[in-house]
Amino acid sequence: MSDTSGGTNTKLTFRRYQDGDEEHRPWQEEIFDADHSHKCPTYVQSAPPCQASCPSGEDIRSYLNIMRGVEKPPAGVPVPEYAFRRLTEANPFPSVMGRVCPAPCESGCNRNQVEDYVGINSVEHFLGEYAIENNLKFTKPAAGTGKKIAIIGGGPAGLSCAYQLALKGHGCTIFDEHEHLGGMMRYGIPGFRTPRDVLDAEIQRILDLGIEVRLKTRIGRDIAMEQIEREYDAVFMGLGAQSGRPLEVPGADAPNCVTATAFLRAFNDGRLRHVGKRVVVVGGGDTSIDVATVARRLGHITQVHEQDRPEYVIQGRVAHDVAEISAKQGAEVILTSLFPIDQMQANKHEIEQALAEGIEIRCGITPVEVLRDASGRATALRLAECEASFKNGGLDIKVKPGTERDIEADLIVSAIGQAVDFTGLESFDNGRGMINADKNYQVPGKQGIFVGGDVIRPHLLTSAIGHGWIAAEGIDRYLRGEAQDKRPKIDVHTFDLQRKMIEKGLPIEEAPHAGIWGTDSGNMAIHNYENRSRKYVIPHDELFLGHFPHTPRNKRKVVTLTKEQALGNFQERLECLTDPDAVAEAKRCMSCGLCFECDNCVVYCPQKAVFKVNKAKSTTGRYVDTDYTRCIGCHICRDVCPTGYIQMGLGE
């Protein structure tokens, strides 16, 4: 296991034997062990860690296998379109989320054990752009159910829920208090990260399913909740958390001490055109990075009239009308975080971009006071060194006495969290500023009322999308008069072998556990097939990593700006992969837990017991089978299976 020069080959990440290993058990001893029989191959579909890590529940492995050519689309359907349709069974916003999702799926990717994760987010981005460019539409159901659902809130949770319900034939009306739909996708993220034409295209595709929209309408103010409950068969509450949390220190009520949500809303509305010379952002998450990068781009002007102070614009009293003709200068932006930079919650990539743009990040400090002048405006933020940790479900901050320091500021932005505005809906507040929900996202004690998104727990946009999907399934069961089933342990969309067989026109025999298990003689799927995708995530140590050579990731091009270049630059920084690069990146997927037709088991079986299924009867997941009259239990097929799809069972 070393190179020709005698040194260790450091590129190898998988080794059956380590340097210095001299003893091994001959494989013949495993085969010809007469005192007991050995296990034989079974075919077990497991959940890959990428899918188990995806809050919106995308069937990631499937759309990557489609892109790489393992799973074939129906006749006449282009490969990217088929992949797009598999992806959007869970998430109707691939182009938006392909840009802004922090991609927990990539952190969980087993490919990290070889060299680097698969660029799942970049392939999703590509498929979203393909769909927009080719004007792909969702397919309306042939007939409606006659049921009506009120969707309160037109953000990612509400739109996701309405999308899923519309696909089931239910009528939906979205109520939103804003001028446009999108929620935090529109009002909480700057346009250079979510281009508005892209967001509008993905929202319109959902509305084209026949969804009604009532904008500038707040439930609890313009329409009573009691009226909604009378007129609709079910309700989904996706209120969102679009009220920011102010700093909880003395002096934080200064007019130029504002929340991140108010800041971003003013910017995204087009009202905020410049900020002060010195901006301090308190946070550490993605929202704080967005505020800091926006402030850097807006800059400041030297002659500011009283009515044009940024805080007045952010508070909604006026809108800037001077910035276009005034010479702008760069703003000094400092972002503070409780945690070290490697423990900040913000996306690592976004942190790197912020640093490149000249934004200073100071870590391990916490605000203790806002200093104000005689007029009451903030002049500086006093901070102290601290040690922060999570204990008993809460944040524990220990301030180090004597470490206080002041940072001068013309504008202080609090990006420490969000809150829900319950005005008119106070009865739903659980006392902690959120709404309680069960596993199906139904409000306890409120039949027919479901909830999702930040109103349950402020988290990622992709989490809200997942909430909308699960709630839609609960609403559908409620409308059918069915019991709310227990949700699976791994609650995501996953590859369905039976659906694939039906799609190809293959017959399916009934089995005692139809859809889950096969038998050694039945034709339900393949011999001794079991689907564990809802309960088991396959780890890297059950794969044969030696099958996968080092293959560099196909990275999207990112436009990195300097401090000077960032001023006034609101162009998108992230470029989409090309078609060949998207396919090449999909090919890096190791298809953990599902056969990707490498032929290793067939080639290495010493008894020729493992064989390819007849081409006319084969499909994805049904590519190989076993003749158990030949199998001697040597385990070689399992050892050389790259994906862990072959497990050993039977004959024990």
Evaluate whether 242 touches 183 at the Cβ level (below 8 Å). yes
pTM of the model: 0.90
Three-state DSSP at 171 gives: strand
Residue 582's pLDDT band (cuts 50, 70, 90): very high
Tokens for 77, please give them: 């359907």
Over range 588-599, report the average pLDDT.
Answer: 97
DSSP H/E element including 308: none
pLDDT tens for each residue of 36-72: 446 788 999 999 999 999 999 999 999 999 999 999 9
The residue with tokens 């940790």 is 389
Per-residue pLDDT at 495 exceeds 60: yes
Handedness of CA 454, 151, 492, 67 (dihedral sign): negative
- What the chain holds in terms of domains, given with CATH numbers, is 42-135+492-649 (no CATH), 148-241+420-480 (3.50.50.60), 244-417 (3.50.50.60)
Which DSSP state fits 488?
Answer: P
Tokens for 412, please give them: 């202080």
54-68 per-residue burial string, b: 16 or more CB within 10 A, e: under 16? bbbbbbbbbbbbbbb
Which DSSP state fits 357?
Answer: T
DSSP H/E element including 515: none
pLDDT tens for each residue of 426-485: 999 999 899 999 999 999 999 999 999 999 988 899 999 999 999 999 999 999 999 998
Residue 11's pLDDT band (cuts 50, 70, 90): low
Evaluate whether 359 touches 330 at the Cβ level (below 8 Å). no
Q: What angle do CA 377, 378, 381 make, to 5 degrees?
A: 175
Q: Which residues contact 256 (CB under 8 A, 6 or more apart)?
A: 276, 309, 310, 311, 377, 378, 409, 410, 411, 412
Q: How far apart are CA 94 and CA 99, in angstroms?
A: 8
Tokens for 39, please give them: 């296990």
Q: How far is CA 287 from CA 150, 246, 292, 349, 629, in A?
A: 29, 14, 9, 14, 61
Query: Tell me, what amino acid is at 219?
Result: I
Q: How many Cα atoms sit within 13 Å of 467 on the Cβ side?
A: 29
Q: How far is CA 582 from CA 65, 381, 495, in A?
A: 12, 46, 21
pLDDT tens for each residue of 294-313: 999 999 887 666 667 788 78
Cα maximum dimension of the chain? 93
